[in-house]
Structure 1
Amino acid sequence: MKWEELTRAQQQEVERQLEVVSRGVVEIVPEEELRGKLMKSVVTGVPLNVKLGLDPSATDIHIGHTVVLHKLRQFQEFGHVVQLIIGDFTGRIGDPTGKSETRKQLSEEDVQRNAATYKRQIFKILNPEQTQLLCNSDWLSLMTFAEVVNLSSKVTVARMMERDDFTKRFQGGQAISIHEFFYPLMQGMDSVENKTDIELGGTDQKFNILMGRTLQKEYGAEPQVVILMPLLEGLDGVKKMSKSLGNYIGIDEDPNEMYGKTMSVPDELMLRYYEMVTDLSSEELAALKEALSSGKAHPRDVKMKLAYTFVRLYHGSAVAESAQQHFITVFQQRLLPENIEIYNLAAAELENGKIQLAELLTRIGFAGSKGEAKRSIKQGSVKLNEVKQEEMNGEFMPVNGDIIQVGKRRFIKLHLV
């Protein structure tokens, strides 16, 4: 199919789709094949199969994970079909990408529990009617040993050792288990099995996704196009967003917490967040960039809009309005929020009417242990009735209406029962 054979309207539609799906992308392998696939789809009316593989290795999804989900949603808006592959089989091995040692294999219970959470959260972004939700155990677990041996013959050890993480571990004398070599092969077989046209992933997934192209060719299928998305920096503005690093915004977090965390995003990252993890159109993004560069928009206001957008996306517009008002009241006007959660404290459990502050913080869930509570007090994060507390082992006599505050966003009002 040649470009000049398309009508003017078809050419414009291909260009429109190519411009949108290329926005914010790091690399397309190869770009001319993406254009060809879009041309074929526009002319025939047959949607493309666009794949994302997710290993359920964590309990929930954060904003960093949604970079690829928003890109998938763009494909859906053009009528294409998303193949969301839950790696309930590959997840038991664990992706060795970027790891300096063999990953601990997840149990079946861990995989199923995490997968259930993923399924609930992803449809906050994706259209379920245009999403094929698939589990790769449905085909990988059925492969015979002979089929596995045949699969392994398709790729050499030298090719596997092209991966930086494998090379570094080998040179450093660290163990590499044979089953780790099978991870990219299994991910590639997901594409073979489902006749995938395009696969998305982060830049750290390049080797694994390219393996899909390799195996599709080996099995006589048309190879997929690879679209690599950037890894989103976390709230520290430096390292990749990660729950383990604490620099993340969870999409299921409390709306006030989500709003407040977003307000700590470095100014220089605001537009990147808008581009990669919101539903802002290209036109709206261009207008926002112009307003910032010309000084028509204040960075604080732009960041508040970003915080509002995140809460709206994952909790709805009404909740976003409430979270924004909470932020304005508590942080801009330095007032206490109007609706503070009440904690019922049993007076009978108090010793001489008193309680240790660290013990109370642990009871109400503001600290995971007394040790953690004492560290918060030492760091100056704890206030009683708006007065900073400094004595780690301090006691006080609670009365109805006492307000405990930890950090900038957590409040509780005491009620003795």
Structure 2
Amino acid sequence: MHFPPVKEQLDIIVNNTVEVISTDELEKKLQKSIVTGTPLKIKLGADPSRPDLHLGHSVVLRKLREFQDLGHEAILIIGDFTAMIGDPSGKSKTRPQLTAGEARENGKSYFEQASKILDPEKTTICYNADWLGKMQFADVIRLASHYTVARMLERDDFEKRYRSQTPISIHEFLYPLAQGMDSVHLKNDVELGGTDQKFNLLVGRDLQREYGIEPQVCITMPLLVGTDGTEKMSKSLGNAICFNDTPEDMYGRTLSIPDTLIEKYWNLLAAHHSGNGAAIAERIAANPRETKRELAREVVAQYYSADDAARAEEHFDRVIVNKQAPDDLVTVEFEESSMPVVELLMALKAFPSKNEARRMIQQGAVQAGEEKITDINAIIEFSDEPVIIRAGKRKFFKVAGGKKTF
């Protein structure tokens, strides 16, 4: 099999990484693969604790795709067994454990979404329950003998919890060991992960060495900050842009990032980025608004199409900039001719709870026709002539009296 020259491969692989442990070892592995014509095995572990992927996940998935494009073997490990332990990385308390069924189901969704970036025909997908689930208790004891409690407490989150006397369950120590056994089983050459996975990746490297296997190279990628500009992107924090967001939501959420994040997002997310950071910085300084719009179009086009991106931008300008309702609103008909505003919003599923609906009303984020509604006890009148209800910045509903259709 023909591979690009080592220098060319290294330039691509090292770009945008945080750390490569070590570059010299990676260079030797690449050279060996060229001589032998054998692709390197590149491993990425996927935690299926949540089925929804966001742009934070795309950073490391894109690096895996780069290895694919260079001719190497991409191995996506769905941690259905380790999810039953719960990855303690970056956690201040014991993480909830999933059932085997929940983990496997989430894993299927993970691969389907990851295939928006990876070439699914060239991706090997594995479930680590297939080998970890077969280990006997004696095997676990032998595995545990390769690591000490002192080494485990070198891990930042464990060390902080130990000092603050926050409980650490014994099973949490088994998580990095179990993940390391994935590397032992697969005999992979490289493992990818976010910076929060560095400890786990190094455990895999150590265990391979303990089991007489050439140790893997560990490559860590940056953690993408969410749309709030402060916390790591996470759906639970409400600062995520998800793979399965609509084009309109994806475009709008990308535009909502602070200007200070444009360059970082561009470098990590733009598929055809040339790597000229200085040029991008200059463009941002000259016109941050248009550069951010270009970024938003690029992001949407990657997960949908250029046409979808153009329509999403048009929708944003109409609804958000010009505060007009979308053209394609479907009329929702009720038997009633009027309804209390909170009841109406809940019937429309505009907000997840009555408390949220009341809060948004009091903040002036709800409008009926041209009238802003600020009274949580207001009655909204509607008849055969539809009324446009605006809930928040992006949600519009057309309601009318008549037969209830939903």
**TM-score scaled to structure 2, two decimals?**
0.94
- Do 1:374 and 1:393's aligned partners in 2 also have CA atoms closer than 8 Å? no
Residue of structure 1 equivalent to 2:351: 367
Counterparts of 1:15-414 in structure 2, within 5 Å, are 15-282=7-274, 287-293=279-285, 295=286, 298-340=287-329, 342-347=330-335, 350=336, 353-399=337-383, 400-414=385-399
Change (3 A) 1:128 1:167: same
Change (3 A) 1:285 1:70: farther
Counterpart secondary structure, 1:306: helix
The one-letter code of the counterpart of 1:109 is G
- Do 1:89 and 1:137's aligned partners in 2 also have CA atoms closer than 8 Å? yes
Tell me how far 1:283 sits from its aligned partner.
Answer: 5.0
1:270-294 deviation line (CA, Å, top 9, x unaligned) = 121111123123257665344335x
1:316-342 deviation line (CA, Å, top 9, x unaligned) = 2222221111112223444332222x2
Whole-angstrom distance in 1 between the partners of 2:52 and 2:143: 32
Counterpart secondary structure, 2:236: coil
The one-letter code of the counterpart of 1:242 is S
- Do 2:82 and 2:175's aligned partners in 1 also have CA atoms closer than 8 Å? yes
Matched length: 400
Counterpart secondary structure, 1:104: coil
Tell me how far 1:73 sits from its aligned partner.
Answer: 1.0
- Do 1:237 and 1:265's aligned partners in 2 also have CA atoms closer than 8 Å? yes
Tell me how far 1:414 sits from its aligned partner.
Answer: 1.7
RMSD: 1.8
Tell me how far 1:120 sits from its aligned partner.
Answer: 1.5
**TM-score scaled to structure 1, two decimals?**
0.91
Whole-angstrom distance in 2 between the partners of 1:94 and 1:65: 18
Tell me how far 1:79 sits from its aligned partner.
Answer: 1.1
Change (3 A) 1:74 1:214: same
Whole-angstrom distance in 2 between the partners of 1:286 and 1:318: 29
Change (3 A) 1:116 1:47: same
Structure 1 stretches of 5 or more lacking a match? 1-8
Percent same amino acid among aligned pairs?
A: 47
Whole-angstrom distance in 1 between the partners of 2:9 and 2:370: 54
The one-letter code of the counterpart of 2:29 is K
1:214-235 deviation line (CA, Å, top 9, x unaligned) = 0000111110000011111111
The one-letter code of the counterpart of 1:325 is E
Change (3 A) 1:325 1:132: same
Whole-angstrom distance in 1 between the partners of 2:111 and 2:400: 39
- Do 1:70 and 1:278's aligned partners in 2 also have CA atoms closer than 8 Å? no
Tell me how far 1:212 sits from its aligned partner.
Answer: 0.7
The one-letter code of the counterpart of 1:186 is A
Whole-angstrom distance in 2 between the partners of 1:131 and 1:386: 53
Counterpart secondary structure, 2:95: coil
Tell me how far 1:58 sits from its aligned partner.
Answer: 1.1
Structure 2 stretches of 5 or more lacking a match? none
